[in-house]
Structure formats: structure tokens, C-alpha cells
């Protein structure tokens, strides 16, 4: 593990971001050789200021770096640099790849055959069921499911893969020792048994907003294709889509109800040329061209088609992972309050929703 210390140390130098890290390693051959370089050689690298060069040549805080390694080992986490065989090869190909990854669980060579499922943190019932069905069908065929362990669509993607005994990779926007969101504690514990939790942020890093766009490039980078299930007009999902396009990944989108705000993102992508996903076969048709593999025949018992839009109850499109008040449902659905209450009672009896204090309702599972 000692040979990995310079990787952590170089990234910790103030002013050494992903771009400059990559430039320095390319110039000198390895992080260790960067620390062995003299001031003049360092200053010759574009972007290296006198302060950065001085910080590199005078770096002596190796005890602090070793303490980080010890904490990782105590947490049961792997520390993988780009030189490690387990480091995902597809991540090395993306612009500004992560120098290293912190991993809880395991990474396998077959994890390169992956599809990312992404979308809103406040999905409809249709979005959740659709995502779980897609993830399960992909997992049943041996494809890995990648997402970000966030509320909503991400959660459904991981659950769908695990329920079908598949592997799933969760890319975090915080340290490996930070469970976020807290309601996903069970998933956080399950995923390392059937895949991996992945982060490029040091232990203890909180889930700050600035981390998630950085995280998103790894979600698309790990996958052959990115499938958008539900996303609003200004969803952070669009950042992942842009990364996917920059990385040469396939982009697909699942259509939804035309009057749902969560359909705006996927519908716009379809208008712009993203492939429409009606069933899992639509995704698989794109993967052989990218991955060079022939998709296996559908396994017995796996349903191909996605669930239909659910007009059976007009309240479902307005319900998601976040609590919605009764009066908001009445206003959004334009139904009389007594009818809304009656429908909510039936949905709760079916196990589809649950009531929270204050007459608030959320989807249940």
C-alpha cells in the first residue's frame, strides 16, 4: 500500500485538480516521480504555479496520508489506483478520469458490461415500477446496473437489480462511510454483497451539492448506455446525459404521460434523437453494437414489456418518494376531496402508498 501514498498526496495538494493531476502524471510517469521532480521541471508543466510547485517539492505530510489509508482498511474498503488491475478500464478512457477510487464490495471484469439507469429523485409510481422492471430484466441477462444511490429512480434501479440476483454499482457523491440518503441504509449494506459502492471522495466527505455533478461523470463512464427513466426540465439527470454524450455513450429515454412534469426530460431527449425505450429489448439492441456481444435469449419468466402507464388511478402520477399533502393531491388531480381520500385509502390497502403524519402520502416501496 505504500506505493499508493503518492496518489493520495498529489491529489491533496491545493490547486491540483483532475486536469492538472493527469497532466503531471503524463509528464513524469507516476505520482511518485512527480514528487521527485525539481522546481524547474514542475514549473515547465502548464498550469503549475510557483505555489503548487513549491507545495509539491516541500510536501512532508506523509503521516496524514498514511492515516487515510489506515482508515480505509479499517472500513473494509479498497483503494484502487489507475495502475490496479481491478480499476474499471472504461473509466480510464473518459475525459479527466478519476486518479483512484474507493470501493466497498468488489469489482469484476464482467462489470464492464453495464447500463446506467438514472432519473428524478421524486418519481411517479409509473417511473418507479418501470425502472425496477428494466433493471431486473437487464440484471437477469447478466448486465450490471449502475446508478447513484439517490432517492427515487436511482433507488429503484439498484433494487431491481438486487431483486433479480444481479450485480449493481452505486457511485456516491460523498465518502464511502457516509450513508446518503439515510433511508437507503439497507441498500447501502446490500450492494457490496452483490456489487460495489464506489466513490472518488475521501472518507468523511459530506454529500454536498457540488459533489454530484462530479459523481455523475462516473455513472455514465462505467456504462455502455445511459437510460433516462423520468426527469424534469431542470433535473440534474441532464448533467449525466451530457457526460454520456461527451464520453461516446448511448443515450436512451423512457416515455411517460404527456401531462407529467417528469416526462419533460425524456421526451425532449427523444425529440433530440435519443432512442425510445418501450421494453428492455430496445436497450439490448443498442448494446451489441457498443459492447460487441450477442444478447442472450430472454430467460424463462422474465417479462419483456414495461408496465403500461397506470390510468387506473389518477393519483399515482402525483405520488413519489417525497411526501405530498392531501390538499396538494386534491389541487393537482382536480378531483373532489372525498374522492381523493377514498382513492388514497384503496391505494394504501393495496400496499402501494403509506400515510405519514400531517395527512402526507408517499409511495410505499
Task: Return the CATH number at 354.
Answer: 1.10.10.10
Indicate if 128 and 247 belong to the same structural domain.
Answer: yes
Round to whole Å and give the CA distance between 19 and 95.
Answer: 9
Indicate if 321 and 284 belong to the same structural domain.
Answer: no
**pLDDT tens-place string over residues 247-262:** 999 999 999 999 999 9
**pLDDT tens-place string over residues 29-75:** 999 999 999 999 999 999 999 999 999 999 999 999 999 999 999 99
Does residue 345 carry a pLDDT above 60?
yes
How big is the CA angle at 152 (ends 236 and 80), to the nearest 5 degrees?
A: 70
- 132 part of a folded domain: yes
Q: How many separate domains does the chain show? A: 3
Structural domain harbouring 331: 316-363
Does residue 293 carry a pLDDT above 60?
no
Q: Please report the pLDDT score of residue 179 as a whole number.
A: 96
Round to whole Å and give the CA distance between 246 and 119.
Answer: 19
State phi, psi for 5 to the nearest 5 degrees. Answer: -55, -45
**pLDDT tens-place string over residues 182-215:** 999 999 999 999 999 999 999 999 999 889 989 9
**pLDDT tens-place string over residues 311-339:** 357 787 788 877 888 988 888 888 888 77
Average confidence (pLDDT) over 261-266: 95
Indicate if 168 and 59 belong to the same structural domain.
Answer: no
What is the DSSP-derived secondary structure letter of residue 322? S
Q: Please report the pLDDT score of residue 291 as a whole number.
A: 52
Task: Return the CATH number at 193.
Answer: 3.40.50.450
Render 58-115 in DSSP notation, one character per residue. Answer: T---HHHHHHHHHHHHHTT-EEEETTSTTS-HHHHTSSS--SEEEEEE---GGGGSEE
Indicate if 269 and 336 belong to the same structural domain.
Answer: no
Q: Please report the pLDDT score of residue 96 as a whole number.
A: 82
- 192 part of a folded domain: yes
Mean pLDDT of the chain: 89
Does residue 305 carry a pLDDT above 50?
no
Query: From the CB of residue 49, how many other CB atoms can be counted at a distance below 10 Å?
Result: 12
The four Cα atoms 346, 349, 350, 356 give a dihedral, to 10 degrees, of 90
| pLDDT band with cut points at 50, 70 and 90 for residue 306 | very low
pTM of the prediction? 0.80
Task: Return the CATH number at 31.
Answer: 1.10.150.20
In this structure, the strands spanning 114-118 and 225-228 are parallel
Q: In the chain, what are the helix, strand and coil shares in percent, each to the nearest 5?
A: 45, 15, 40
Query: From the CB of residue 261, how many other CB atoms can be counted at a distance below 10 Å?
Result: 18
| pLDDT band with cut points at 50, 70 and 90 for residue 309 | very low
| pLDDT band with cut points at 50, 70 and 90 for residue 295 | very low
- 87 part of a folded domain: no
Amino acid at each position: 500500500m505504500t506505493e499508493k501514498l503518492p496518489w493520495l498526496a498529489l491529489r491533496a495538494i491545493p490547486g491540483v485538480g483532475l486536469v492538472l493531476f493527469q497532466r503531471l502524471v503524463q509528464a513524469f510517469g507516476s505520482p511518485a516521480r512527480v514528487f521527485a521532480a525539481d522546481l524547474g521541471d514542475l514549473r515547465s508543466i502548464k498550469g503549475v504555479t510557483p505555489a503548487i510547485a513549491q507545495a509539491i517539492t516541500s510536501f512532508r505530510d506523509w503521516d496524514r496520508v498514511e492515516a487515510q489509508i489506515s482508515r480505509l482498511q479499517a472500513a473494509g474498503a479498497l483503494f484502487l489506483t489507475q495502475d490496479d488491475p481491478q480499476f474499471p478500464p472504461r473509466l480510464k478512457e473518459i475525459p479527466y478520469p478519476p486518479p483512484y477510487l474507493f470501493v466497498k464490495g468488489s469489482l469484476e471484469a464482467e462489470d464492464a458490461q453495464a447500463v446506467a439507469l438514472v432519473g428524478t429523485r421524486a418519481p411517479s409510481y409509473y417511473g418507479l415500477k418501470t425502472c425496477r422492471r428494466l433493471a431486473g430484466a437487464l440484471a437477469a441477462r447478466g448486465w450490471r446496473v449502475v446508478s447513484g444511490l439517490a432517492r427515487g429512480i436511482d433507488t429503484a434501479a439498484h433494487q431491481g437489480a438486487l431483486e433479480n440476483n444481479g450485480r449493481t454499482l452505486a457511485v456516491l457523491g460523498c465518502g464511502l462511510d457516509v450513508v446518503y440518503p439515510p433511508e437507503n441504509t439497507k441498500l447501502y449494506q446490500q450492494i457490496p454483497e452483490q456489487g460495489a459502492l464506489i466513490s472518488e471522495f475521501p472518507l468523511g466527505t459530506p454529500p454536498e451539492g457540488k459533489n454530484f455533478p462530479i459523481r455523475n461523470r462516473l455513472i455514465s463512464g462505467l456504462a455502455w448506455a445511459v437510460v433516462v427513466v423520468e426527469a424534469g426540465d431542470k433535473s440534474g439527470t441532464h448533467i449525466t446525459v451530457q457526460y454520456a454524450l461527451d464520453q461516446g455513450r448511448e443515450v436512451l429515454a423512457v416515455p411517460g404521460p404527456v401531462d407529467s412534469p417528469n416526462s419533460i426530460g425524456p421526451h425532449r431527449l427523444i425529440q433530440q434523437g435519443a432512442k425510445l425505450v418501450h421494453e428492455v429489448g430496445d436497450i439490448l439492441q443498442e448494446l451489441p453494437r457498443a459492447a460487441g456481444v450477442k444478447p442472450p435469449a430472454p430467460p424463462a419468466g422474465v417479462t419483456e414489456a414495461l408496465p403500461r402507464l397506470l390510468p387506473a388511478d389518477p393519483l399515482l402520477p402525483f405520488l413519489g418518494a417525497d411526501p405530498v399533502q392531501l390538499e396538494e393531491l386534491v389541487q393537482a388531480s382536480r378531483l373532489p376531496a372525498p374522492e381523493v381520500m377514498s382513492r388514497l385509502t384503496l391505494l394504501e390497502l393495496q400496499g402501494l402508498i403509506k400515510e405519514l403524519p400531517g395527512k402526507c402520502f408517499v409511495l410505499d416501496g
